[in-house]
């Protein structure tokens, strides 16, 4: 009988597989019939349909999505998970399927749009592209996601808005939209708004977000860009600083000279070189030995540097520790050419307290010994170096015979190549002279200048790949990578076999920036390179190519070379794809301990970016994994500070294998919780057989058993309440919800138990109690939740309590939620703000407006959503606050909130205050004298820059009404504002004298009298 059943199951499985395959048929009738039959099959077909979502066949993906969409809410949880964490094809297919659920899906997507996991928010943005027919609800969610601080989320939201043919309604929306799309052409139409958005991203932790901001700023033609660029000069990312300094070097303003002088000391070589070029433009000369040595080194004025002798040593030792190997080798060569002072400096560096200095000094000694040895023996060095076999002095003395031997092109040849590449004539003249110079350092430096010509530089750079000097070759390779020149890929692949390790390393790094799939084979060949730095560069390059590299990486996991396998594992760990976890787990079975250890460390690294897929893999290993896999996973989870990871470890403590259970117990002991280790999984009778039987029944997957157990609970009385609450901690979410519903039905004794455990239970128990109490319309429950807001230490529990209080009435929850919006943890603040919106109380409006001082965009968006739910009353309060607020940040956020609430200004003063809040001073000026009153009020703002902008606008408006506000500004605490006020009064001339004289005569403030007299003197003189 069993055999027949298995055959039936196999036949059914094959039938489903054939039907799913038919969804990709070119015959529409075959596709239609398959879809109808799969729709009727229901749940058994789900797995096959989900797999089909990852197909490369567009028709198959679409068909699978349509069928899954007919399953309604049953398939939604799985589809939501796939749209967040699946591959690109899978995400798109899942999105189409979700969208078929219409408004039901929209409600789930609204929740996902506020999830802390960016992938869920990104998935929501993708799916909403297929729900455009729902109109404003879809649009509003996408507009919120458009302002997401995560680059991937905002980009996906912008794409979805574009696909539903959404049109921006105002300048700010347009700017945010094109900013999210990284569209330089359309962004340039809104310079002021783009600058504001870029400045808000100044402290964004995402390097790519800041790179996008600076790249868009660099393409704006606005005088205001300078101030933004100056602030980005302090960025932690070298590429961001380089773009900023490069843009600033194109603006002629002598006040920026100190910035360029500071740039000479930047850790990024590109910033240093660009600063030096900019300073040349101003005719700047160094004022002290340190500046002089920095400048000479960057400009490669080696003779001048050598003549400085000891004064140049500190700068040379600093460059000896540079991140760029080319810079380090140049410093070594100059120190060697110095003779005794240089050798003494290296000797002292070997004794330094700084480990890095000692390491680089030892590296320099090794290079110098090789060069000296080769020089003394009259033989060529066995390993080619960046600077050949001659010292800097000898290199400079070589003339045309050396030039001919090196194959350097003539100046005219280079000029022709550069002009054919459409490089501007004057620049081509300058660069051609440098590229034809016999000094390889001059040629290498010229490459940086050439690179700034963008794509026009690619052809000349390809010629430089055949330069006889490796340092020139490396500079060309790096520049081609920076330009992401796909044309260079075949040439760089060939150079991956170069005998110089620095050339190979530069090729790997540049191929990683270009990200061409056809370079994967060449890069993975470098996994067996004898030099670790080359292997690391190749690994990083393959990781940057992303999931497309996984098939190749999978194939080399079986390589006989252990180094290749470990490098492949490290590479896989850098690819953000759930499959990467499966591949790495497989390597926990490797026969080499070092490989297994590498795999465990890689899994630990991936837990930071792919935690949920890792938890899924852990659950699989609990059931199917072998000893090595389980031990490896335990090692990876050991330091992961997440409750779910600790729960997985606890499950491993019950493993039948004593080695596994003991290792898990050791890890739990570190946290102060050691479970009893059992050699067998035997149900523990803790409360008595009848209660244990009921709890076991509630956990059953059989609905009938669960119903029977639920009925028995109500016949037991109060004695079962405590065991039920305690059992929730080790139950899955479905059983927890069922148990909570049962407890609610047991009335006051159960409520007392939940209240008790909310204050004294374990973390997970507290969470469950907080969520359960929120479902009870009871003063005692709300009092307990309110108490948790004041007394609970763990922010996760406070967050759950804040969310539950959203179901309470006005008086019971209000004070606790107001207290919570000032919580130190942003998750608690967001939950409290959301719940205040649920209360639907006018009392919540003013506290919510006050909370707009937040800088966190997620919190601001949540405040806006909560205010939106409070309707016209909120709009009225926001409008009034726009007039009275003295804080520019809150004022700006109020204006943003009013935008999202579709507010329309009713009076001219409303318009003026709105424009002030948006820092649109030019539009304020155009309104004329009517703006003077509001501008005078802004002279009391907390921010001096805002006061200064308001004052400048008042001065620009002119007229008698502006004179008294200018006199008021004479008492500003900031000297810049006071000076500007005085200049404005002097500009007003004789028309200001009566007001100033009256101020001198009547004012009780001696300082104001003094300032007024000073202005009078300047006007009358």
pLDDT-derived band at 452 (thresholds 50, 70, 90) equals confident
Q: How far apart are CA 1018 and CA 262, in angstroms?
A: 38
Q: How far apart are CA 536 and CA 526, in angstroms?
A: 9
pLDDT-derived band at 624 (thresholds 50, 70, 90) equals low
Backbone angles phi, psi at 423, to 5 degrees: -90, 135
Contact 136, 168 (CB under 8 A): no
Summarised one tens digit per residue, pLDDT across range 948-969 is: 888 889 998 888 888 899 988 8
390-426 burial, b if ≥16 CB within 10 A, otherwise e? ebbeebbeeeeebeeebebbeeeebbebbeebebeee
Summarised one tens digit per residue, pLDDT across range 637-664 is: 887 777 778 888 888 887 778 888 888 8
Distances (CA, A) of 47 to 75, 564, 811: 10, 35, 49
Mean pLDDT of the 346-357 span: 89
Contact 695, 685 (CB under 8 A): no
Contact 56, 85 (CB under 8 A): no
Question: What's the pLDDT score for residue 677?
Answer: 33
Question: What's the pLDDT score for residue 387?
Answer: 39
Which 3 state secondary structure label does DSSP give 952? helix
Q: How far apart are CA 725 and CA 736, in angstroms?
A: 9
HSE value, Cβ hemisphere, 13 Å, CA-based, for 144? 27
Question: What's the pLDDT score for residue 856?
Answer: 61
Distances (CA, A) of 596 to 44, 75, 633, 641: 38, 37, 11, 23
Q: How far apart are CA 106 and CA 393, in angstroms?
A: 73
Tokens 């033609």 belong to which residue? 221
> Is residue 507 pLDDT above 90, yes or no?
yes
Q: How far apart are CA 568 and CA 470, in angstroms?
A: 28
Residue among 235, 241, 243, 236 nearest 263 (CA): 241
pLDDT-derived band at 139 (thresholds 50, 70, 90) equals confident
Question: What's the pLDDT score for residue 90?
Answer: 67
Considering only 30-34, 529-533, 599-603, 992-996, which range has the smallest mean pLDDT?
Answer: 30-34
DSSP per-residue string spanning 372-418? HHHHHHTPPPSS--TTTTS-HHHHHH--HHHHHHHTPPPHHHHHHHH
Of residues 511 and 98, more confidence is placed in 511
Tokens 């520019």 belong to which residue? 888
Q: How far apart are CA 564 and CA 472, in angstroms?
A: 30
Q: Taking the model in full, what pTM does it have?
A: 0.36
Question: What's the pLDDT score for residue 919?
Answer: 83
Quote the mean pLDDT of the chain.
Answer: 79
Q: How far apart are CA 172 and CA 176, in angstroms?
A: 6
Mean pLDDT of the 215-227 span: 79
Q: Is the dihedral of CA 655, 659, 660, 664 positive or negative?
A: positive
| Alpha helix stretches (DSSP H) within 269-338 | 269-281, 289-298, 302-307, 313-320, 325-338
Task: Name the packing angle between helices 779-791 and 810-820 (round to 10°).
Answer: 10
Query: 882: which 2 tokens?
Result: 């726009």
Question: What's the pLDDT score for residue 305?
Answer: 82
Q: How far apart are CA 889 and CA 919, in angstroms?
A: 11
pLDDT-derived band at 671 (thresholds 50, 70, 90) equals low
Question: What's the pLDDT score for residue 857?
Answer: 60
Contact 508, 526 (CB under 8 A): yes
Query: 462: which 2 tokens?
Result: 């390809």
Query: 474: which 2 tokens?
Result: 């490396």
Question: What's the pLDDT score for residue 672?
Answer: 52
Residue among 104, 100, 126 nearest 113 (CA): 126
Which 3 state secondary structure label does DSSP give 642? coil
Question: What's the pLDDT score for residue 678?
Answer: 35
pLDDT-derived band at 13 (thresholds 50, 70, 90) equals confident
Query: 209: which 2 tokens?
Result: 């977000």
- 635 CB-near residues (< 8 Å, 6+ apart): 597, 600, 604
pLDDT-derived band at 748 (thresholds 50, 70, 90) equals confident
Summarised one tens digit per residue, pLDDT across range 777-800 is: 777 888 888 888 888 888 878 888
In 221-289 the beta strands, taken as DSSP E runs, fall at none
Q: How far apart are CA 259 and CA 924, in angstroms?
A: 33
Task: Name the packing angle between helices 440-451 and 425-435 (round to 10°).
Answer: 150
Which 3 state secondary structure label does DSSP give 784? helix
pLDDT-derived band at 670 (thresholds 50, 70, 90) equals low
Considering only 47-61, 111-125, 231-245, 548-562, which range has the smallest mean pLDDT?
Answer: 47-61
Vertex 871 angle, CA 870 and 874, to 5°: 70
- 403 CB-near residues (< 8 Å, 6+ apart): 438
Question: What's the pLDDT score for residue 394?
Answer: 53
Contact 818, 847 (CB under 8 A): yes
Question: What's the pLDDT score for residue 383?
Answer: 37
Query: 374: which 2 tokens?
Result: 């080769």
Summarised one tens digit per residue, pLDDT across range 1000-1018 is: 888 888 888 888 888 888 8
Q: How far apart are CA 370 and CA 345, in angstroms?
A: 19
Summarised one tens digit per residue, pLDDT across range 143-161 is: 888 888 888 888 888 888 8
Mean pLDDT of the 363-374 span: 82
Query: 180: which 2 tokens?
Result: 């999210």
Question: What's the pLDDT score for residue 395?
Answer: 45
In 580-639 the beta strands, taken as DSSP E runs, fall at none
Whole-angstrom Cα Rg for the chain:
35
Q: How far apart are CA 667 and CA 634, in angstroms?
A: 8
Cβ count near 637 (within 10 Å): 24
> Is residue 700 pLDDT above 80, yes or no?
no
Summarised one tens digit per residue, pLDDT across range 369-405 is: 887 777 666 554 443 343 333 445 454 444 334 444 4
Q: What is the largest CA-CA distance in the chain?
A: 115
Which 3 state secondary structure label does DSSP give 339? coil
In 724-776 the beta strands, taken as DSSP E runs, fall at none
Contact 142, 160 (CB under 8 A): yes
Q: Is the dihedral of CA 741, 746, 748, 750 positive or negative?
A: negative
Question: What's the pLDDT score for residue 701?
Answer: 66
Cβ count near 979 (within 10 Å): 13
Q: How far apart are CA 320 and CA 211, in angstroms?
A: 28
Tokens 């303003």 belong to which residue? 253
Of residues 811 and 943, more confidence is placed in 943
Residue among 116, 115, 113, 75 nearest 93 (CA): 75
pLDDT-derived band at 11 (thresholds 50, 70, 90) equals low
119-138 burial, b if ≥16 CB within 10 A, otherwise e? bbbbbbbbbbbbbbebeeeb
Question: What's the pLDDT score for residue 681?
Answer: 33
Contact 196, 171 (CB under 8 A): no
Query: 389: which 2 tokens?
Result: 């076999």
Q: How far apart are CA 931 and CA 915, in angstroms?
A: 10
Query: 936: which 2 tokens?
Result: 């005078």
> Is residue 78 pLDDT above 80, yes or no?
no
């Amino acid at each position: 009988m069993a055999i027949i059943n298995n055959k039936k199951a196999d036949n059914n499985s094959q039938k489903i597989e054939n039907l799913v395959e038919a969804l990709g048929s070119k015959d529409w009738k075959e596709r239609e019939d398959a879809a109808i039959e799969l729709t009727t099959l229901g749940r058994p077909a789900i797995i096959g349909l989900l797999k089909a979502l990852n197909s490369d066949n567009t028709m198959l993906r679409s068909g699978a999505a349509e069928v899954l969409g007919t399953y309604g809410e049953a398939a939604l949880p799985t589809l939501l998970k796939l749209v967040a964490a699946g591959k690109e094809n899978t995400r798109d297919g899942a999105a189409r399927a979700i969208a078929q659920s219409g408004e039901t899906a929209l409600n789930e997507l609204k929740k996902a749009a506020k999830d802390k996991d960016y992938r869920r928010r990104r998935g929501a943005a993708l799916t909403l592209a297929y729900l455009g027919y729902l109109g404003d609800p879809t649009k509003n969610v996408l507009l919120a996601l458009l302002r997401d601080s995560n680059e991937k989320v905002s980009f996906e939201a912008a794409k979805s808005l574009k696909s539903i043919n959404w049109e921006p309604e105002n300048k700010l929306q347009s700017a945010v939209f094109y900013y999210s799309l990284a569209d330089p052409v359309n962004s340039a139409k809104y310079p002021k708004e783009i600058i504001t958005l870029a400045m808000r991203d100044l402290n964004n932790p995402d390097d790519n977000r800041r790179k996008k901001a600076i790249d868009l700023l660099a393409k704006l033609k606005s005088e205001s860009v300078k101030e933004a660029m100056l602030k980005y000069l302090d960025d932690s990312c070298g590429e961001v600083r380089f773009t900023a300094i490069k843009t600033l070097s194109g603006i002629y303003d002598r006040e920026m000279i100190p910035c360029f002088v500071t740039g000479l000391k930047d850790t990024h070589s590109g910033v240093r070189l660009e600063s030096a070029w900019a300073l040349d433009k101003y005719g700047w000369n160094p004022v002290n030995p340190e500046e002089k040595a920095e400048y000479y080194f960057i400009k490669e004025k080696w003779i001048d540097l050598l003549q400085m002798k000891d004064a140049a040593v500190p700068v040379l030792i600093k460059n000896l520790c540079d991140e760029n190997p080319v810079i380090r080798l140049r410093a070594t060569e100059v120190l060697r050419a110095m003779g005794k002072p240089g050798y003494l400096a290296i000797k002292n560096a070997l004794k330094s307290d700084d480990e890095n200095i000692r390491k680089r000094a030892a590296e320099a000694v090794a290079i110098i010994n090789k060069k000296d040895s080769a020089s003394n023996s009259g033989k060529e060095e066995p390993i080619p170096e960046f600077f050949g076999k001659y010292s800097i002095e000898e290199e400079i003395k070589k003339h045309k015979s050396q030039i001919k031997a090196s194959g350097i092109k003539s100046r005219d040849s280079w000029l022709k190549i550069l002009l054919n590449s459409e490089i501007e004539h004057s620049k081509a003249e300058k660069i051609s002279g440098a590229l034809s110079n016999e000094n390889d350092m001059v040629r290498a430096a010229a490459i940086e200048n050439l690179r700034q010509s963008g794509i026009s530089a690619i052809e000349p750079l390809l010629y430089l790949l055949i330069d006889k000097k490796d340092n020139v070759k490396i500079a060309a390779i790096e520049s081609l990578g920076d330009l992401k020149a796909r044309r260079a890929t075949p040439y760089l692949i060939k150079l991956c076999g170069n005998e110089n390790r620095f050339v190979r390393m530069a090729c790997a790094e540049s191929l990683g920036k270009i990200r061409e799939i056809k370079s994967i084979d060449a890069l993975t060949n470098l996994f067996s390179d004898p030099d670790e730095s080359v292997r690391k560069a190749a690994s990083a390059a393959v990781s940057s190519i992303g999931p497309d590299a996984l098939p190749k990486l999978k194939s080399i996991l079986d390589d006989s070379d252990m180094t290749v396998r470990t490098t492949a594992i490290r590479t896989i760990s850098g690819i953000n794809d759930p499959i990467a976890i499966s591949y790495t787990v497989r390597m926990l079975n490797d026969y080499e301990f070092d490989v297994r250890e590498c795999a465990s460390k890689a899994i630990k690294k991936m837990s930071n970016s792919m935690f949920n897929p890792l938890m899924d893999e852990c659950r699989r290993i609990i059931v199917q994994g072998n000893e090595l896999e389980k031990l490896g996973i335990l090692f990876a989870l050991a330091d992961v500070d997440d409750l779910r990871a600790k729960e997985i470890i606890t499950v491993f403590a019950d493993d039948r294998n004593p080695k596994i259970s003991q290792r898990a117990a050791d890890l739990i002991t570190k946290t102060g919780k050691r479970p009893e280790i059992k050699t067998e999984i035997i149900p523990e009778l803790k409360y008595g057989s009848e209660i244990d039987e009921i709890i076991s029944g509630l956990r059953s997957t059989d609905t009938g058993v669960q119903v029977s157990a639920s009925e028995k609970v109500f016949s037991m009385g109060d004695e079962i309440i405590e065991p039920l609450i305690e059992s929730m901690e080790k139950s899955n979410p479905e059983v927890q919800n069922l148990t909570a519903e049962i407890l609610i039905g047991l009335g006051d004794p159960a409520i007392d138990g939940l209240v008790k455990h909310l204050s004294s239970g374990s973390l997970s128990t507290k969470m469950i109690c907080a969520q359960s109490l929120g479902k009870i319309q009871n003063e005692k429950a709300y009092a307990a939740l309110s108490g948790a807001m004041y007394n609970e230490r763990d922010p996760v529990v406070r967050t759950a309590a804040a969310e539950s209080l959203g179901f309470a009435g006005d008086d019971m929850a209000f004070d606790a939620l107001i207290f919570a919006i000032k919580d130190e943890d942003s998750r608690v603040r967001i939950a409290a703000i959301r719940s205040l919106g649920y209360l639907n109380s006018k009392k919540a409006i003013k506290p919510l407006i006050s909370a707009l001082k937040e800088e966190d965009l997620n919190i601001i968006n949540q405040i806006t959503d909560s205010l939106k739910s409070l309707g016209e009353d909120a709009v009225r309060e926001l409008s009034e606050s726009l007039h009275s607020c003295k804080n520019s940040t809150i004022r700006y956020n109020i204006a943003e909130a009013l935008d999202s609430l579709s507010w329309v200004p009713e009076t001219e003063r409303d318009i003026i205050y709105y424009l002030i809040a948006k820092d649109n001073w030019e539009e304020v000026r155009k309104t004329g004298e009517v703006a003077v009153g509001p501008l005078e009020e802004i002279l009391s703002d907390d921010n001096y820059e805002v006061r200064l902008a308001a004052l400048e606008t008042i001065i620009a408006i002119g007229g008698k009404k502006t004179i008294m506000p200018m006199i008021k500004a004479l008492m500003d605490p900031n000297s810049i504002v006071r000076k500007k006020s005085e200049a404005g009064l002097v500009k007003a001339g004789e028309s200001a004298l009566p007001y100033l004289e009256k101020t001198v005569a009547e004012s009780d403030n001696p300082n104001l009298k003094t300032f007024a007299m000073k202005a009078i003197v300047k006007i009358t003189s």
